């Protein structure tokens, strides 16, 4: 069946890096998005990937392996303000019309310590 | 450019009461989504529209929930008889129809509903 899985929590140290993992199962993969969500706020779009490999966007980079149903979001040079929940969302072309529908994971709460 | 606007920001109801949530998407966005996000969970799609047409409402509890987008712009989500299990944040989002690279979905700030 369909599903998007993420670890609940992740802790890292300011100035270092953090890798947020996401595994998914879908019948008609049509891309994967990453969102940042702070407590009490709406999700904010970070990145979209549909092809295998690493996509470097500076502070955020994303990796995708379609054959393994796996993606990660890499945050480098962490700052305290990067503490937030990071949501992985998959598009499935076989689910809900044109495939523009996002299926979200439960999110990973990243805590960045001094 | 104005973002997705939702109102009210907060609502507190007793079980059995009704409530409506309103959403104004980004101008020109033909696709509008309503998500339910319980605390400590990811958003779960309830319904989405392309223009005024419902594309998928398979996860909308049809006995108590309804959603409309009559002119293909603003939308209203209504809960007829709220239950404690409906306690969650209700997020509205909009996007342009998927045209390959343009796949970003923009979210509103949400309405936080508490049913006591």
Place of tokens 């309103």: B22
Cα separation, B90 vs A100, in Å, equals 19
Q: What is the DSSP letter of A81?
A: G
The predicted pLDDT at position A83 comes to: 97
Burial (Cβ within 10 Å: 0-12, 13-18, ≥19) of residue A112: buried
Cα separation, B59 vs A34, in Å, equals 22
The predicted pLDDT at position A105 comes to: 93
pLDDT, greater one: B2 or B65? B65
Q: Is B95 on the interface with A (CB under 8 A)?
A: yes
**For B63-95, what is each residue's pLDDT tens digit?**
999 999 999 899 999 999 999 999 999 999 998
Q: Across residues B9-21, what is the average pLDDT?
A: 96
Q: Across residues A39-64, what is the average pLDDT?
A: 91
The number of C-beta contacts closer than 8 angstroms across A and B is 68
Query: How sure is the predictor about A97, in pLDDT bands with cuts at 50, 70 and 90?
Result: low
Cα separation, A43 vs A59, in Å, equals 18
B108 CB neighbours in chain A (<8 A) are 42
């Amino acid at each position: 069946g369909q599903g998007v899985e993420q670890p609940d929590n992740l802790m890292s140290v300011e100035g270092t890096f953090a890798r947020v993992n996401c595994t998914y199962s879908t019948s008609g993969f049509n891309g994967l998005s990453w969102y940042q969500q702070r407590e009490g706020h709406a999700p904010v779009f970070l990145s979209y990937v549909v092809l295998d490999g690493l996509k470097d966007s500076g502070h955020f980079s994303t990796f995708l392996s379609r054959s393994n149903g796996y993606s990660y979001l890499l945050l480098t040079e962490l700052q305290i303000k990067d503490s937030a929940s990071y949501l992985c969302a998959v598009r499935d072309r076989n689910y809900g019309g044109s495939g523009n529908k996002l299926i979200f994971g439960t999110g990973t709460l990243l805590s960045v310590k001094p | 450019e104005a973002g997705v606007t939702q109102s009210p920001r907060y609502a507190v109801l007793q079980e059995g009461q009704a409530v409506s949530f309103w959403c104004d998407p980004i101008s020109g966005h033909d696709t509008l989504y309503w998500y339910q996000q319980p605390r400590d969970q990811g958003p779960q799609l309830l319904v989405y529209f392309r223009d005024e047409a419902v594309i998928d409402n398979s996860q909308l509890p049809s006995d108590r929930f309804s959603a409309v987008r009559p002119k293909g712009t603003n939308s209203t989500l209504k809960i007829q008889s709220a239950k404690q299990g409906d306690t969650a944040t209700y997020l509205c989002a909009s996007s342009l129809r998927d045209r390959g690279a343009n796949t970003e979905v923009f979210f509103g700030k949400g309405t936080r509903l508490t049913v006591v």
